[in-house]
């Protein structure tokens, strides 16, 4: 593995692994945000009514906006192989091609396709040749993965589809694959009237590709943030359109936006021979600064004005910090953002007794873990205990015993905890809100402080406990 600039950090954090009896979203939920991100895609989830029911209820109103996703609902004949998988999938994909004409069809494999061993990876190339639309296979199933890891499986599959510069020959094609720069230099062009050629503003550095699906405003913000340091973003995985997937060559540098992208990182390193920059994730002003600094250090660039920028952001957060300082927050764990969020909140002055997390990749998250540890030392707080594959029942016992000021948890536990007088924040909101970069630190704190602000405005009413007897959970 070519882990760029990796330096071993002393790990004093305590790690535990529990039973894995916890609540989280099924990883197929990634289609909800990925179909919106990749505008010319169509996601076909090959599974059962159970999968469909989850998606339809979890995505709520999005279902009604005629999304570019559907279920290939398996029937008894499919399970017992009375029907031919290839013929069935061809029939459905033909229909999708006819109705929607997407640039790519992403097949999401599920628990059922795993158990009946449907060879999606084998069927896809044949069918792709036959219908003329790329078919990407991602096995985002609940047997192996949790929630946001679904995106990881899709992006890992997409990483194989990124062209090399040898494959992209024509100028138009180059232009198309450079959508972000086009977007940014366009505004510039209008400003100074000059014709493009902004390359001189960039320092000379190897190609850098960012991976992780984030909303478009964040793509712009982060790209501009790096531009301030003279770093040019060579592309993003994924892009707004499948046809614009970035060029990836051997030796290019890549860096992750999110903590749940270990498979994508591995694929980029092993299969595409890219160099991974291991950094904390750009969540919170501290994380964002560390992330940029790490890229700069890899490219031997002296970072400009980052310290002031970070300080300024912290200053602007003071009203929120006053609310949470000294309060404790408990992460039950379900979306893998937990380490980064905990690190940011500790820097904000909160204490974190425990971080639950579905899966802990200590290598991919190495720099983030190191920053967490450093943050705890800096702030003089105890190191949190990190619990992988948590057991929700045991966690509820500990929450009951320690009465944290805030519990970040899934919707299954939020209302019952509120009824017992415990403040909660729904964890899934962190996956859908804009939380990356300097600009959005405020949004994270808006989320974190909301239950505290709401409950303090209700606090004199005298009805914070709304269950009769303290029933055993």
Q: With respect to other proteins, which residue has the nearer C-beta, 168 or 473? A: 473
CA distance 329 to 56: 31
Question: Residue from 3, 92, 131, 184 that binds other proteins (CB under 8 A)?
Answer: 92
Question: Residue from 18, 39, 40, 73 that binds other proteins (CB under 8 A)?
Answer: 73
- Report phi then psi at 277, rounded to 5: -90, 115
Q: How far is the CB of 77 from other proteins (least distance, A)?
A: 9
Question: Residue from 11, 304, 415, 456 that binds other proteins (CB under 8 A)?
Answer: 415
Which residues does 452 contact at the CB level (< 8 Å), separation at least 6? 323, 324, 327, 405, 406, 423
Q: Is 467 in the site for other proteins (CB under 8 A)?
A: yes
Q: Is 155 in the site for other proteins (CB under 8 A)?
A: no
Q: Which residue has the tokens 């919106």?
A: 36
Q: Is 122 in the site for other proteins (CB under 8 A)?
A: no
Q: Is 24 in the site for other proteins (CB under 8 A)?
A: yes
Q: How far is the CB of 241 from other proteins (least distance, A)?
A: 23
Q: Is 412 in the site for other proteins (CB under 8 A)?
A: yes
Q: DSSP letter at 460?
A: G
Q: Is 432 in the site for other proteins (CB under 8 A)?
A: no
Q: Is 291 helix (H, G, I), strand (E, B) or coil?
A: helix
Stretch that binds other proteins, among 55-63, 100-108, 165-173, 344-352 (CB under 8 A): 55-63
DSSP state letters, 335-360: SS-HHHHHHHHHHTT-B-SEEEES--
- The dihedral formed by the CA atoms of 344, 345, 347 and 348, expressed in degrees to the nearest 10: 130
Stretch that binds other proteins, among 57-65, 288-296, 306-314, 436-444 (CB under 8 A): 57-65
Q: How far is the CB of 145 from other proteins (least distance, A)?
A: 8
Q: Is 451 in the site for other proteins (CB under 8 A)?
A: no
From 2, 1, 7, select the one nearest 297 (Cα to Cα). 7
- The dihedral formed by the CA atoms of 367, 350, 333 and 109, expressed in degrees to the nearest 10: -50
DSSP state letters, 370-418: HHHHHHHHHHT-PPPEEEES--HHHHHHHHHHH--SEEEE-HHHHHHHH
Measuring CA to CA, how many Å separate 103 from each of 108, 215, 374?
16, 20, 45
Q: DSSP letter at 246?
A: P
Q: With respect to other proteins, which residue has the nearer C-beta, 73 or 173? A: 73
Number of residues that bind other proteins (CB under 8 A): 66
The answer to whether residues 31 and 108 touch, using CB atoms and an 8 Å cutoff, is yes
Q: Is 143 in the site for other proteins (CB under 8 A)?
A: yes
CA distance 222 to 220: 6
Question: Residue from 112, 258, 335, 431 that binds other proteins (CB under 8 A)?
Answer: 112
Which H or E run includes 221? helix 216-227
CA distance 459 to 182: 52
Q: Is 54 in the site for other proteins (CB under 8 A)?
A: yes
Q: Is 405 in the site for other proteins (CB under 8 A)?
A: no
From 463, 437, 391, 371, select the one nearest 7 (Cα to Cα). 371
Q: With respect to other proteins, which residue has the nearer C-beta, 1 or 115? A: 115
Q: With respect to other proteins, which residue has the nearer C-beta, 31 or 445? A: 31
Q: How far is the CB of 395 from other proteins (least distance, A)?
A: 12
Q: Is 410 in the site for other proteins (CB under 8 A)?
A: yes
Question: Residue from 4, 13, 25, 233 that binds other proteins (CB under 8 A)?
Answer: 25
Q: Is 350 in the site for other proteins (CB under 8 A)?
A: no
Q: Is 147 in the site for other proteins (CB under 8 A)?
A: yes
Q: How far is the CB of 411 from other proteins (least distance, A)?
A: 4
Stretch that binds other proteins, among 145-153, 349-357, 436-444, 451-459 (CB under 8 A): 145-153
Q: Is 146 in the site for other proteins (CB under 8 A)?
A: yes
Q: Which residue has the tokens 């299969």?
A: 271
The answer to whether residues 403 and 328 touch, using CB atoms and an 8 Å cutoff, is no
Helix axes 411-419, 392-402, angle to 10 degrees: 30
Q: Is 464 in the site for other proteins (CB under 8 A)?
A: no
Q: Is 35 in the site for other proteins (CB under 8 A)?
A: no
Q: Is 72 in the site for other proteins (CB under 8 A)?
A: yes
Q: Is 57 in the site for other proteins (CB under 8 A)?
A: yes
Applying CB under 8 A, the residues found at the interface with other proteins are 20-27, 46, 48-50, 52-54, 56-58, 60, 63-64, 66-67, 70-76, 78-79, 83, 88-89, 91-92, 95-96, 111-112, 114-116, 141-147, 393, 396, 410-416, 419, 466-467, 471-473
């Amino acid at each position: 593995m070519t882990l760029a600039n990796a330096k071993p950090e002393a790990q004093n954090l305590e790690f535990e692994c529990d039973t894995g009896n916890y609540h989280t979203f099924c990883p197929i939920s990634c289609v909800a945000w990925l179909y919106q991100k990749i505008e010319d895609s169509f996601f076909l989830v090959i599974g059962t009514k159970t999968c469909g029911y989850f998606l339809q209820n979890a995505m709520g109103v999005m279902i009604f906006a005629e999304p570019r996703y559907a279920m290939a609902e398996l029937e008894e004949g499919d399970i017992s192989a009375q029907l031919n998988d290839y013929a069935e999938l061809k029939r459905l994909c033909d229909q999708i091609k006819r109705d929607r004409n997407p640039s790519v069809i992403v097949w999401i494999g599920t628990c059922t396709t795993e158990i009946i061993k449907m060879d999606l990876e084998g069927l896809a190339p044949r069918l792709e040749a036959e219908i003329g639309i790329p078919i990407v296979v991602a096995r985002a199933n609940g047997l192996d993965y949790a929630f946001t890891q679904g995106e990881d499986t899709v992006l890992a599959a997409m990483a194989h589809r990124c062209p090399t510069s040898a494959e992209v020959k024509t100028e138009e094609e180059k232009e198309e694959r450079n959508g972000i720069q086009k977007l940014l230099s366009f505004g510039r062009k209008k400003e100074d009237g000059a014709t493009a050629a902004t390359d001189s503003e960039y320092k000379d550095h190897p190609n850098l590709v960012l991976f992780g699906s984030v909303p478009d405003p964040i793509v712009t913000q982060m790209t501009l943030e790096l531009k301030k340091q003279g770093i040019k973003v060579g592309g993003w995985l994924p892009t707004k359109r499948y046809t614009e997937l970035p060029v990836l060559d051997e030796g290019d540098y890549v860096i992750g936006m999110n903590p749940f992208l270990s498979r994508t990182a591995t694929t980029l390193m092993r299969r595409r021979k890219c160099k991974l920059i291991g950094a904390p994730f750009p969540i919170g002003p501290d994380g964002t600064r560390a992330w940029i600094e790490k890229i700069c250090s890899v490219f031997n660039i002296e970072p400009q004005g980052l310290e002031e920028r970070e300080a300024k952001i912290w200053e602007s957060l003071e009203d929120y910090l006053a609310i949470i300082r000294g309060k404790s927050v408990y992460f039950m764990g379900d979306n893998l953002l937990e380490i980064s969020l905990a690190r940011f909140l500790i820097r904000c002055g909160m204490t974190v007794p425990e971080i639950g997390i579905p899966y802990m990749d200590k290598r991919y998250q190495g720099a983030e873990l190191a920053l967490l540890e450093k943050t705890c030392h800096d702030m003089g707080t105890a190191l949190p205990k990190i619990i992988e594959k948590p057991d929700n029942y045991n966690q509820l016992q500990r929450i009951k015993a320690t009465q944290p000021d805030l519990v970040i948890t899934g919707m299954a536990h939020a209302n019952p905890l509120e009824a017992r007088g415990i403040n909660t924040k729904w964890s899934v909101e962190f996956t859908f809100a804009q939380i990356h970069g300097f600009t959005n630190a405020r949004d994270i704190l808006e989320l974190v402080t909301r239950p505290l602000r709401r409950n303090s405005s209700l606090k004199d009413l005298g009805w914070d406990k709304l269950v009769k007897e303290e029933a055993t959970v």
